[in-house]
Amino acid sequence: MIAEKFIDLFKQNKFENITLEQINENNSLKTKDYFTNKYEILNYILKDKLTEKIELINSLRDKKVSLQSKLIIFFDYHFDFLKDYPNISDILIKTSMSEDENKIEIISSYMKKFKETFSKLIVEEIKNNKIRNVNPEIIANAILHATHGVTVKIKYDDDYNYATAKKELINFIYLGLNN
């Protein structure tokens, strides 16, 4: 209930303007019983969902399928997740554009894990001669930022959709890495 109320408020307000009192309003659960501030609520909301993505990337390293198939699996999950949880998408977009140190730390931690995990996947692909020799950190960073960019574009461009974004990302990444 606290998370849902927070997300509802986030849709209508800037993060800076949300108060614990607003979250408590018409809510049988009181934030002070679970959280000390709104940053903890934000972290709680994002942590599980973002950890699932990291675990998926880790699991893809062990799959005996092409990089293209791994990318399809990841982007299917990623875009299905964004469709199922559009409010989380809003939170990620707004938070990643913020100057607030506390919010940036939550997103920065995920971004760092994403890049590290995707970099390991790229290293495995290079070792197995599945893709050409590249700098895995740069590629992982490019994947992260390209994914963020198309997520923002989907949100603000009515003519751009998940299917187009997925196809463009897979082609961008796979064709750029293919031997």
Asked if the structure places residue 59 within a domain, the reply is yes
Centroid of chain to Cα 61:
19
Question: Rounded distance, CA 90 to CA 76, Å?
Answer: 19
Asked if the structure places residue 16 within a domain, the reply is no
Asked if the structure places residue 155 within a domain, the reply is yes
End-to-end C-alpha distance for the chain, whole angstroms: 50
Q: Which domain holds residue 146?
A: 46-177
Task: Inform me whether the pLDDT recorded for 165 exceeds 90.
Answer: yes
Question: Rounded distance, CA 59 to CA 139, Å?
Answer: 19
Query: What is the structure's pLDDT at 179?
Result: 62
Asked if the structure places residue 53 within a domain, the reply is yes
Nearest CA-CA partner of 81 in 51, 107, 44: 51
Query: What is the structure's pLDDT at 76?
Result: 94
Cβ-contact 140, 115 below 8 angstroms? yes
Asked if the structure places residue 124 within a domain, the reply is yes
The three state secondary structure string of 61-119 is HCCCCCHHHHHHHHHHHHHHHHHHCHHHHHHHHHHHCCCCHHHHHHHHHHHHHHHHHHH
Asked if the structure places residue 26 within a domain, the reply is no
pLDDT digits (tens, 9 = 90+) for 52-107: 889 999 999 989 998 899 999 999 998 988 887 777 777 777 766 666 666 667 77
Q: Assign residue 94 the CATH number of its domain.
A: 1.10.357.10
Q: How many domains does the chain have?
A: 1
Question: Rounded distance, CA 81 to CA 78, Å?
Answer: 5
Asked if the structure places residue 40 within a domain, the reply is no
Asked if the structure places residue 2 within a domain, the reply is no
Task: Inform me whether the pLDDT recorded for 35 exceeds 70.
Answer: yes
Question: Rounded distance, CA 160 to CA 114, Å?
Answer: 25
pLDDT digits (tens, 9 = 90+) for 13-34: 777 788 888 888 877 878 888 8
Handedness of CA 29, 33, 39, 42 (dihedral sign): negative
Residue 37 has φ and ψ, to the nearest 5°, of -160, 175
Query: What is the structure's pLDDT at 176?
Result: 87
